[in-house]
Amino acid sequence: MATETAPRWRRLPLREIACLVPVVAVAAWAVWSWPVVEEGFLRMLAADRSWLVAAAAATGMAWVAAAFARQGAVVERLPPARLLATQFAASSANHLLPSGLGAGAVNLRFMSVCGLPPARSSAALALYLLAESVARVALLLSLLAAFPHALRIGHLVPGGALTSLAMTGGVLLAAALLLIAAVRPLRRVVRTFLSTALSEARSIHARPDRVLALWGGSLAFPALQASGLVAVGLSLHLPVPAMHVAVAYLAASVMAAAVPTPGGIGSVDAALALALITVGAPAAVATAAVLAFRLITVWLPLLPGALMLGALVRWKVL
């Protein structure tokens, strides 16, 4: 009697192949963008190394802050070491897909492996994104209130752009609401998700330790990123007050969120360079600061993060 053999594709080492995908993608991306990487490295060679180390430390602490915020978004205790490693890996995945989809997918998978149902994992992700967005905008508004002349919005945003953006957002929101109202299955899905999300939010905010982790981590994350740019500016002797540089970063990150590119590549760089110029930085130094900052926060951790992502997949943490 002949024995059945599994299809050829089932005999492929799919998990091992999945481990290599992020590494290959990062390598191709680095080769394609090599002129930017090379120029940034050359400019960094002339910078103050101690401030660059401080910027790298702020970047590392931002992953810790993200881990705290992710833990704060769920009631169950997540394994701390694996949670932190997941945030490092997610930072690499986030630069391969637009609008934070990579990091969201990695964290959803991690929470699923930890035993959380898909509905609750999605609710936790939505709560984290909401808290991080609110904290980022609140920090920006607070700094603008303390330093009202730090940013000239009229030079940063073209005339009528805010009105056009608001109108576009309103139209998209109205279209989404009409679609939800017209399609019954979609309406049921949205109603179930909102019910689960509100229930999770109430449970989280009934526990002071989770509230502190969620909102403290969400506030610390953009503050540490802004601190990293301040340190880079100091390393290059950027002739702009530190608080003004922090305001420029927060404003640029909020602006770039409207342009969904992988890891903010292109959108963040352009918005950040423009924001630094509007707060008084010379164009050449502003460009150098953006290149150095993106090298520290994106390019240098990219390959190690991809290797970590592959390892976590291989070890079945993801």
pLDDT tens for each residue of 258-272: 655 555 555 677 778
Which is nearest to 231 in space by CA: 41, 43, 62, 54?
54
Q: What is the pTM of this model?
A: 0.81
- Contacts of 282-287 with CB under 8 Å at 24 or more apart are 282/239, 285/236, 285/237, 285/238, 285/239, 286/238
Q: What is the distance between the alpha carbons of residues 81 and 32, in angstroms, rounded to a whole number?
A: 34
Rounded to 5 degrees, φ, ψ at 33 are -105, 25
Alpha-carbon distance of 61 to 176, in angstroms, equals: 37
Q: Which pLDDT score, from 0 to 100, does residue 2 have?
A: 47
From residue 4, give the alpha-carbon distance in Å to each of 10, 11, 13, 31.
Answer: 13, 13, 19, 45
Q: Which two tokens stand for residue 180?
A: 């939800």
Detail the DSSP E strand segments found in the chain: none
**Separation of alpha carbons 107 and 296, rounded Å:** 23
Which of the residues in the chain have pLDDT under 70?
A: 1-34, 36-41, 96-100, 152-166, 169, 257-267
CB-based contacts of 128-132 (< 8 A; 24+ apart in sequence): 128/69, 128/70, 128/72, 128/73, 128/214, 128/218, 129/100, 129/104, 131/69, 131/72, 131/73, 131/214, 131/215, 131/218, 132/69, 132/218, 132/221, 132/222
Count of C-beta atoms within a 10 Å radius of residue 314: 13
Q: What pLDDT, on a 0 to 100 scale, did the predictor assign at position 58?
A: 96
Cβ contacts of residue 222 below 8 Å, gap of 6+? 132, 135, 136, 139, 250, 253
DSSP sequence for 29-52: HHHHTHHHHHHHHHHHHTS-HHHH
pLDDT score for 17 = 57
The answer to whether the CB of 275 falls within 8 A of the CB of 179 is no
